[in-house]
């Protein structure tokens, strides 16, 4: 079993192609502003709906990619293109049997990023899709749907084409504990409830792990660090999974024959780039005074002095490297810095709030820039001297 995430579908195209009207037609409600004035959509607009056969979907309405005549227009185009790292599927909206260089460039970027896409020939009530143009579009080897957002024609066919590319389960992650947990295993989850813990509920990784263990018919024991010692005096668990920030206090209490890892490391295994993290984490010891480190969070929240990403992790990295470092922070799906070459290291959180593709695209962009990338849990384990121990069960 696995955890269902929302699928992000980006609607792209030039100005006045009917992108916003098409989103309204797909959603069955007026969620995007529609106007004959070119450039009405300025920043990406998101709306969550449910699509039968896919599940929860976030439709992203983007600004026209040909709006580059002014500085603000260039910013709009950049904002639209930044969404490529956040989407699972794209819809390219065109009309009038016309495919301009901006459209061709977008297609190239979809293919380069490995993003499945559909071409929607909109406004077909005004100018139907011609056989010659349809033959031209067929060369791209993707679904081409003739539709009219205004007349609500071809919308079901467009949704069917999207569903075919993103079938049921497309938004699901790989199992979190598959291969390391067997039915009947007792797994202890060490979950400190500090000032960063939300009142009255568990944070997402904790809830995900509990559900995953139940799906594997394992026994999940949740406790705080203070209760760990007394529990271990009476019981011998099959595995201990802890919040990374208490590695230093938890690890000494766990006998060496009992496997130990963290929520963040388990999440990284299901999200991709696990081997990259394993390879790059030791680069922490090669950091020098003044080096800049990029911390990548996948959620947005207020922080306190107990925040792991913005306070505890930077202190641990500086202590381990024995030097003063500079830190930049990127939250949620905000754009990455333009110049990634300035960073000596990047640290990605577990990614519980984003889809596998979103996290993959983000980390891959940094990796392709030549920047070493590690993960919250692995970085903390390395700085506390237990990196090999907490990754051993996964087989390097």
Per-residue pLDDT tens over the stretch 252-295: 999 999 999 999 999 988 888 899 999 999 999 999 999 999 99
- Is the sign of the CA dihedral 144, 145, 146, 149 positive or negative? negative
Q: Name the domain boundary from 145, 165, 185.
A: 165
Q: Which two tokens stand for residue 65?
A: 């990619």
Of residues 316 and 71, the one with the higher pLDDT is 316
**Across all residues in the chain, what is the average pLDDT?**
87
For the chain, how many structural domains are there in total?
A: 2
DSSP 129-155: PPHHHHHHHHTT-S-EEE-BTTTTBSH
Q: Name the domain boundary from 165, 191, 219.
A: 165
336: domain range?
176-396
Distance, in Å, from the CA atom of 382 to the CA atom of 272, rounded to the nearest integer, reads 20
- What is the model's pLDDT at position 198? 62
Distance, in Å, from the CA atom of 390 to the CA atom of 261, rounded to the nearest integer, reads 4
Among the residue ranges 130-139, 162-171, 309-318, the one predicted with the least confidence is 162-171
Q: Is 388 exposed, middle or buried (0-12, 13-18, 19+ CB in 10 A)?
A: exposed
Domain shared by 202 and 154, yes or no: no
Enclosing H/E stretch for 94: strand 89-95
Q: Is residue 2 part of a domain?
A: no
Number of Cβ within a 10 Å radius of residue 219:
14
Domain shared by 202 and 342, yes or no: yes
Mean pLDDT calculated for residue range 137-157: 95
- What is the model's pLDDT at position 34? 43
- What is the model's pLDDT at position 33? 45
Cα–Cα distance list, 55 to 45, 145, 172 (Å): 20, 21, 10
- What is the model's pLDDT at position 54? 76
- What is the model's pLDDT at position 231? 97
Mean pLDDT calculated for residue range 93-116: 94
Q: Is residue 300 part of a domain?
A: yes
Distance, in Å, from the CA atom of 360 to the CA atom of 338, rounded to the nearest integer, reads 18
- What is the model's pLDDT at position 9? 93
Q: Is 369 helix (H, G, I), strand (E, B) or coil?
A: coil
Q: Is residue 170 part of a domain?
A: no
Domain shared by 154 and 292, yes or no: no
Domain shared by 109 and 184, yes or no: no
Q: Is the pLDDT of residue 350 over 60?
A: yes
Q: Is residue 128 part of a domain?
A: yes
- What is the model's pLDDT at position 306? 56
Cβ burial 77-104 (10 Å sphere, 16+ → b, else e): beebbebbbbbbbbbbbbbbbebeebbe
Domain shared by 269 and 356, yes or no: yes
The candidate with the shortest Cα–Cα distance to 19, out of 56, 51, 67, 86, is: 67
User: What CATH number is associated with residue 97?
Assistant: 3.40.50.300
Q: Is the pLDDT of residue 39 over 60?
A: no
Q: Is residue 349 part of a domain?
A: yes
Domain shared by 69 and 108, yes or no: yes
Domain shared by 204 and 348, yes or no: yes
Domain shared by 199 and 150, yes or no: no
Domain shared by 133 and 263, yes or no: no
Residues of the chain with pLDDT > 90: what percent? 61
Domain shared by 227 and 311, yes or no: yes
Q: Is residue 277 part of a domain?
A: yes
Q: Which two tokens stand for residue 53?
A: 């056969």
Q: Is residue 1 part of a domain?
A: no
Domain shared by 56 and 145, yes or no: yes
Per-residue pLDDT tens digits for 47-90: 888 877 777 888 999 989 987 667 787 888 888 888 887 888 99
Q: Name the domain boundary from 132, 165, 198.
A: 165
Distance, in Å, from the CA atom of 241 to the CA atom of 180, rounded to the nearest integer, reads 12
Which phi and psi (to 5°) does residue 215 adopt? -65, -30
Mean pLDDT calculated for residue range 328-347: 91
- What is the model's pLDDT at position 197? 59
Among the residue ranges 77-91, 310-324, 369-383, the one predicted with the least confidence is 77-91
- What is the model's pLDDT at position 335? 82
Mean pLDDT calculated for residue range 336-358: 88
Enclosing H/E stretch for 103: helix 101-113
The candidate with the shortest Cα–Cα distance to 7, out of 29, 30, 26, is: 26
Q: Is the pLDDT of residue 217 over 50?
A: yes
Distance, in Å, from the CA atom of 377 to the CA atom of 266, rounded to the nearest integer, reads 9
Q: Is residue 255 part of a domain?
A: yes
Q: Which two tokens stand for residue 198?
A: 């939300």
User: What CATH number is associated with residue 383?
Assistant: 3.40.50.11410
Of residues 395 and 10, the one with the higher pLDDT is 10
pTM above 0.75, yes or no: no
Distance, in Å, from the CA atom of 181 to the CA atom of 172, rounded to the nearest integer, reads 19
Mean pLDDT calculated for residue range 92-117: 94
Domain shared by 17 and 109, yes or no: yes
Which phi and psi (to 5°) does residue 324 adopt? -85, 130
């Amino acid at each position: 079993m696995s955890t269902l995430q929302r699928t992000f579908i980006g609607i792209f195209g030039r100005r006045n192609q009917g992108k916003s009207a098409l989103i309204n037609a797909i959603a069955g409600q007026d969620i995007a502003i529609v106007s004959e004035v070119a450039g009405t959509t300025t920043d990406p607009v998101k709306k969550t709906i449910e699509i039968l056969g896919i599940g929860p979907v976030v439709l992203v309405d983007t600004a026209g990619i040909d709006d580059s005549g002014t500085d603000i227009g260039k910013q709009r185009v950049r904002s639209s293109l930044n969404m490529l790292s956040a989407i699972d599927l794209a819809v390219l909206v065109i009309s009038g049997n016309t495919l301009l260089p901006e459209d061709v460039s977008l297609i190239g970027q979809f293919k380069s990023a490995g993003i499945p896409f559909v071409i929607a020939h909109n406004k077909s009530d005004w100018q139907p899709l011609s056989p010659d143009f349809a033959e031209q579009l067929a060369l791209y080897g993707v679904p081409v749907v003739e539709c009219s957002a205004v007349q609500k024609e071809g919308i079901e066919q467009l949704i069917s084409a999207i569903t075919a590319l993103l079938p049921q389960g497309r938004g699901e992650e790989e199992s979190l504990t598959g291969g390391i947990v067997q039915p009947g295993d007792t797994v202890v989850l060490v979950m400190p409830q500090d000032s960063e813990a939300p009142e009255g509920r568990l944070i997402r990784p904790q809830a995900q792990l509990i559900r995953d263990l139940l799906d594997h018919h394992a026994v999940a024991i949740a406790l705080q660090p203070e209760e760990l010692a007394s529990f271990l005096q009476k019981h011998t668990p099959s595995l201990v999974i802890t919040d990374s920030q208490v590695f230093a206090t938890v690890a000494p209490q766990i006998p060496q024959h009992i496997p130990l890892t963290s929520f963040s490391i388990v999440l990284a295994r299901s999200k991709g780039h696990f081997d990259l993290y394993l390879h790059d984490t030791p680069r922490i010891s090669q950091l020098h005074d003044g080096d800049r480190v990029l911390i990548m969070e996948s959620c947005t929240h207020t922080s306190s002095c107990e925040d792991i990403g913005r306070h505890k992790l930077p202190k641990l990295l500086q202590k381990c490297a024995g030097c003063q470092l500079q830190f930049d922070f990127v939250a949620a799906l905000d754009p990455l810095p333009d110049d990634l070459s300035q960073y000596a290291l990047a640290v990605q959180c577990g990614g519980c709030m984003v889809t596998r593709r979103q996290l993959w695209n983000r980390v891959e962009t940094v990796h392709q820039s030549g920047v070493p990338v590690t993960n919250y849990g692995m970085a903390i384990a390395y700085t506390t001297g237990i990196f090999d121990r907490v990754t051993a069960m996964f087989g390097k």
